[in-house]
Homo-oligomer: A and B are copies of this chain.
């Protein structure tokens, strides 16, 4: 068995004592406990569950500086980012507490009986959403708090009423362990069974495979590489009872510079672009890895500013030595592709850092070589120069499914933008105007998802309140006596402020 230890991102060296390595029996025990806790947990009231989520946020804040220190040490990311992400993580828990309290998540539908209907009476039918069952969550390396142990997947699954078994990310075991302990304290303080939340740790992929294959697990949330997501999805499909895997995988997030905007502020756009590209060492799912521009005024200003920014950029510690080395490898492959020219490269550091890199190619070359569109995880981007709007559209249509696309535009670009939006809608989950894709707002109208291969399931999102829907399924109750119905479906539940679709008409009482 490999020794499993926390690693200091900056030095690549081990830190602290050897850590617990869970095995197949631990997986089986955790999943059985999650299953045993399911009926108790899902029977909690919305208020109880909301208070529990808020308690988790309090417990995470209660860890204090120890958490920030573990985070920065294990991720190489700065303190400000750690604090911001902690705030986001706790804010996310509180948002889901609010969602649970409001009750819309239950999607209540009531079709009252019509005893006199001809030719046949209509029975009384009532529908609500129930949680799917125990959920396995795989944290991401690039957001050790907001997309990991207590991240959006865990928050939305717990909000739905699903017990959660987390496979802690081996790149930040101390951070994950501290957060897991905080959640377990909240479980205990809320009088819930321990099986509501469990945390497994270890460095191997086998651990995750066993988790996805456990018959008690009913859904999987994952954020990470395409290879990892596809492997889990395959395992999940091959189970005797297949289950959904919500994997958020690779994306290169095209940024489109429309002619008038480019002409008016090519240089400013170039500078701002480098800011988005280099943020967090480029380790964002929404990093702008592809820039599309039409030949014309402003394109050279953009390139000059971007090239300058990239050349001056400092190397940044990457999340793991493995990621830094995969990044270096990715740059090497990209540099070697026919028709791809390196425009600029930032300062280089050690084996644990990544320097920024900027490439350019023509639309023609891009269309001829699919590898140019492969994600290079880190601060690397490719500018694709297009002859005209038609060619730009061709490039977009050749691009795989993405999390985001961005339009930089002025008023005079509106007609062109209007022609491109339908193309983008079919390819991405979120379209931005005059912004940068890094920075994903946690709110109700967010879609952090998109067509394959950006995710395995474009019908949903992993950020924002809509994420709860992933862990729900509908059940219909026909001709139930009032006393046997779940409380929220009874006639006397009216007035609780929960929206209900009654006979097809939405009512909020």
Contacts and interface: CB of A to CB of B under 8 A. Distances in A.
Given A127-B445, A237-B237, A445-B501, 9 more contacts: A102-B504, A127-B444, A425-B475, A429-B473, A430-B476, A433-B481, A435-B479, A446-B476, A461-B474
Nearest to A460: B474
Nearest to A424: B475
A451 B459 CA distance: 19
Interface string A468-482: 000011111111110
Interface stretch (A104-112, A186-194, A331-339, A359-367): A104-112
A417 interface: yes
A430 B475 contact: yes
A99 interface: yes
B484 A433 contact: yes
A426 B481 CA distance: 20
Nearest to A474: B447
Contacts of A439: 120
A132 B484 contact: no
Contacts of A401: 241
Contacts of A457: 244
A115 interface: no
Contacts of A242: 233, 452, 456
A480 B122 CA distance: 46
B433 A125 contact: no
Interface in A356-374: none
A127 B466 contact: yes
Interface in A424-440: 425-426, 428-435, 439
A29 interface: no
A412 interface: no
Contacts of A446: 111, 125, 127, 476
A444 B241 contact: no
A31 to B, nearest CB: 15
- Chain copies in the assembly? 2
Q: Which of A99, A422, A460, A504 has the most CB of B within 10 A?
A: A504
B127 A431 contact: no
Interface string A379-423: 000000000000000000000010000000001001001100110
A435 B506 contact: no
A476 B441 CA distance: 11
Interface residues of A, number: 79
A493 interface: no
A123 interface: yes
Contacts of A441: 111, 122-123, 125, 478
Contact of A109 (B122, B433, B445, B478): B445
A107 to B, nearest CB: 8
Nearest to A466: B474
Contact of A434 (B102, B452, B479): B479
A418 B474 contact: no
A76 interface: no
Contacts of A481: 411, 414, 433
Chain A to chain B: the 3 pairs with minimum beta-carbon distance, closest first:
A447-B476, A125-B445, A127-B445
A444 B503 contact: yes
21 contacts: A39-B422, A99-B504, A102-B504, A109-B445, A123-B441, A125-B441, A127-B447, A133-B426, A241-B401, A244-B459, A411-B481, A414-B483, A431-B477, A431-B478, A432-B478, A432-B479, A433-B481, A444-B501, A445-B501, A446-B476, A458-B473
A98 interface: yes
